Amino acid sequence: MEKKLKGFEEFSDRGRFTSREAYLEKNPDAILHNQCTDVIQYVDGCIIQSLDSGFFMVDDKYGSRSLDEAEVQLFRKYISK
C-alpha cells in the first residue's frame, strides 16, 4: 500500500511524462484527446494530457497553458478530497 501523500509538492514531484504511444501500450482502453502528444502520470492513475497546442488538459472542463496550474487543479479535484 502506498503511503499517503503529504501535500501538493510531493504530488507534483511524482508526475512522470510519457509519450502518448507508450501510455496507450500500457493503457489500451484509455481515450485520449486527438491532439494529445504526451501524458503526465500521477499517483492513483490520475493524468494530465499535454496537447500539441501547448495546452495541458486535466479533463473536459479544465485545462491550462501552465502545467503548474493544471497540476493544482488535478490535485484539488482528485487527490486532496
Show pLDDT as tens, one digit a residue, over the chain (81 residues). 344 556 888 888 889 999 999 999 999 999 999 999 999 999 878 999 999 999 999 999 999 999 999 999 999 887 666
The per-residue pLDDT for 81 is: 60
Domain count of the fold of the chain = 1
d(CA 19, CA 21): 5
How far the first Cα of the chain sits from its last, in Å, is 18
The per-residue pLDDT for 47 is: 96
Cell numbers describing residue 47: 493524468
Is 31 within the bounds of a domain?
yes
The per-residue pLDDT for 40 is: 97
Is 23 within the bounds of a domain?
yes
Q: Which domain holds residue 32?
A: 8-79
Is 67 within the bounds of a domain?
yes
Is 13 within the bounds of a domain?
yes
The per-residue pLDDT for 59 is: 93
Is 42 within the bounds of a domain?
yes
Is 1 within the bounds of a domain?
no
pTM of the model: 0.85
